[in-house]
Amino acid sequence: MSKLVEVRDLRVSFRMGKDDIQEAVRGVSFDIPANTTVALVGESGSGKSVSAMSIVRLLPDNALLDPASRVLFEGRDLLQATPEEMRRLRGREISVVFQEPMSSLNPVLTVGEQIAEVLRMHTTLGARAARDRALELLTEVGIPEPRARLDSYPHELSGGQQQRVMIAMAIACEPKLLIADEPTTALDVTVQRQVVDLLARLQERHRMSMLFISHDLGLVGEVASQVVVMRHGVVREAGAVGQIFSAPQDAYTRALLACRPRLDTRPRRLPVIDDVVNNRPLVTEQRAPVPAEGPALIEVSGLSKAYRLKESLFRHKTIDAVKGADFVLHKGRTLGVVGESGSGKTTVGMMLTRLTQATTGRILFEGQDLAALSADAMRPYRKRIQIIFQNPYASLNPRFTVGQILMEPMRIHGIGANDEERARLALGWLEKVGLPASAFGKYPHEFSGGQRQRIAIARCLTMRPEIIVCDESVSALDVSVQATVLNLLLDLQEEFGLTYVFISHDLAVVKYMADDILVMNRGEIVERGTSEEVYANPRHPYTQQLLAAIPRGHAPLPAA
């Protein structure tokens, strides 16, 4: 099999300061054969994206490439190419699909203009011919109503449609290599399935090579032929996907496979990287669901939320985000809420915490209807019902130290006699979530994503809440960090008797965490039951569709 790309002894460092140089990639070598999909796998910071961006020379200005490094594309060393040569190459022979399409698409140009721009830059097509070709590309990538979407702006499309536009731009000139850098990380499981299937079809149809970058081994097992596993800037293992998944030789590869929650088992604790790498015995004891004893902690009935949107000067339309939701929460149990973006699951969580006011319905907490309380009357309940958001960096004040972040809610709610006592309490919560005391004086940007999520959890715990709404709180984390945070949440639930509302589009994670499950679609609860019941015997077609979309690279589906 001929080699399209040969990466040899790639070494990349970054100048972080006058005397501070950080080595990100250390002697990486791998090949991308023609008409083949190769996956680069690893956690954040492993060097996989830096390695891929080195191929197209899209590294930041502070990047330092070792003179001995080689990146051969059809025998040409791209690291020696001139900027003009690379401009001609990018988009025509090598294209990239980035993780966040809204950051990559130009918000002031229509979709058709952006696809046509690529074509006119790299081909001899005129304006009309480029627009016609853009229409063909939108049709090929499965955009609904492609002719109408030509004149749409990126913000008028869903996340999955935006990613399809990026793919259309990337294949416009029929490149020989497509680099897909975490192209499905932020997408729902069904949209993720559609994008992965689309990439696989396009790769086969256009006979191009693809470098697929991901931390989700379930996806990798389905889309790739060969796998390169990276950690700390080095290649730990490489080989055919079947060999890597069935008989991994490196402990780190085995750890990545073990960390992901499975649908066929529910251990008391998920393995983490260090458990496998250090050969610690893994927990095989299964976690039993918490019994629903006594009266419900919260009873929700007829909960609805409608938004009135202005269409024109005199016309409005109403969007029903949630329609007549009914459910109960029992102390110490976890209620999982699953569904795609727009299903209404986050709106339910926001209404429970009164961050969004319900249009109709009741939220009974100890006989008190929270939905009917004024803002002042609601304040005592706010410390009893807390929320952990998806993006901890966006929800943590970047100008506050961790200590200030933890002490502020305590000060607002009168917890602790003075700041000295509040600081002592904050240090105790940092220890509880596994962070050192030195974190107290640092800022959020000095921590990794998993550590920032621990800070967000600690902030919730300073209120000693009874109920915590986890809104996609682990969806953006690597599988190993995700396992650590899930274990922490379960430990805290067991120690403090916490009740969770666990909102997610990741069905494997919800299956592991939840005792009961609500499945939402277009604002309605279409299925409910215990975790085992819903996954073993899904009744609603939408639930069946969600389960069928779960990546099965190493996580088998339950028997029907």
Give the count of domains, the chain: 3
Dump pLDDT digits (tens) for 187-197: 777 778 888 88
Residue type, position 283, single letter: V
- Within-domain flag for 315: no
Contact 325/550 with Cβ under 8 angstroms? no
Is it the case that residue 513 has pLDDT exceeding 60? yes
* Same domain membership, residue 108 and residue 89: no
Q: Nearest-CA neighbor of 183 among 60, 248, 259, 98?
A: 98
CA distance 13 to 24: 5
Local confidence band at 556 (pLDDT 50, 70, 90 cut-offs): very low
Mark which of 219, 249, 279 sits at the end of a domain. Answer: 249
* Same domain membership, residue 127 and residue 70: no
Q: Which domain holds residue 543?
A: 330-548
Query: What is each CA distance from 323 to 306, 348, 358, 436, 505, in whole angstroms?
Result: 8, 10, 11, 45, 19
HEC sequence for 502-536: EEECCHHHHHHHCCEEEEEECCEEEEEEEHHHHHH
Mark which of 170, 199, 222 sits at the end of a domain. Answer: 170
CATH number at residue 517: 3.40.50.300
Local confidence band at 469 (pLDDT 50, 70, 90 cut-offs): very high
CA distance 29 to 323: 54
- Within-domain flag for 99: no
CA distance 557 to 359: 38
- Within-domain flag for 437: yes
Is it the case that residue 552 has pLDDT exceeding 70? no
pLDDT at residue 557, rounded to an integer: 35
Q: Nearest-CA neighbor of 228 among 246, 213, 207?
A: 213
Is it the case that residue 554 has pLDDT exceeding 60? no
Contact 469/503 with Cβ under 8 angstroms? yes
* Same domain membership, residue 163 and residue 125: yes
CA distance 282 to 194: 35
* Same domain membership, residue 237 and residue 128: no
* Same domain membership, residue 153 and residue 6: no
Residue type, position 336, single letter: G
- Within-domain flag for 266: no
* Same domain membership, residue 202 and residue 132: no
- Within-domain flag for 368: yes
* Same domain membership, residue 483 and residue 396: yes
Dump pLDDT digits (tens) for 434-447: 899 999 999 998 88
- Within-domain flag for 255: no
Give how far the C-alpha of residue 105 lies from the chain's centroid of Cα atoms, to the nearest Å: 20
Please tell me what DSSP assigns to residue 91.
T
* Same domain membership, residue 72 and residue 115: no
Using DSSP's 3-state secondary structure scheme, residue 477 falls into coil
Q: Which residues pair with 39 in a beta bridge?
A: 212, 227
pLDDT at residue 558, rounded to an integer: 38
Share of the chain above pLDDT 70, in %: 98
* Same domain membership, residue 444 and residue 424: yes
- Within-domain flag for 340: yes
Question: How many residues appear in the chain?
Answer: 560
- First CA to last CA across the chain, in angstroms? 40
* Same domain membership, residue 131 and residue 76: no
Provide mean pLDDT across the span 312-339.
90
Provide mean pLDDT across the span 217-244.
91
Please provide the average confidence, as pLDDT, over all residues in the chain.
90
Sheet containing 226-231: which strands, arranged edge to edge?
Answer: 94-97, 177-181, 209-214, 37-41, 226-231, 234-240
* Same domain membership, residue 215 and residue 340: no
pTM of structure = 0.84
Sheet containing 334-338: which strands, arranged edge to edge?
Answer: 385-388, 467-471, 499-504, 334-338, 516-521, 524-530
* Same domain membership, residue 135 and residue 64: no
Provide mean pLDDT across the span 503-511.
88
- Supply 224's token pair: 């790739």
pLDDT at residue 560, rounded to an integer: 34
Mark which of 135, 170, 205 sits at the end of a domain. Answer: 170
- Within-domain flag for 323: no
- Supply 228's token pair: 């390169």
Residue type, position 307, single letter: Y
Residue 20 has a CB neighbour count (10 Å cut-off) of: 8
CA distance 5 to 209: 9
DSSP structure string for 256-316:
HHHHS--SS--BSS---HHHHHTTPPPP-PBPPPPP--SS-SEEEEEEEEEEEEE-SSS-E
Is it the case that residue 285 has pLDDT exceeding 80? yes
260-265-267 Cα angle (round to 5): 80
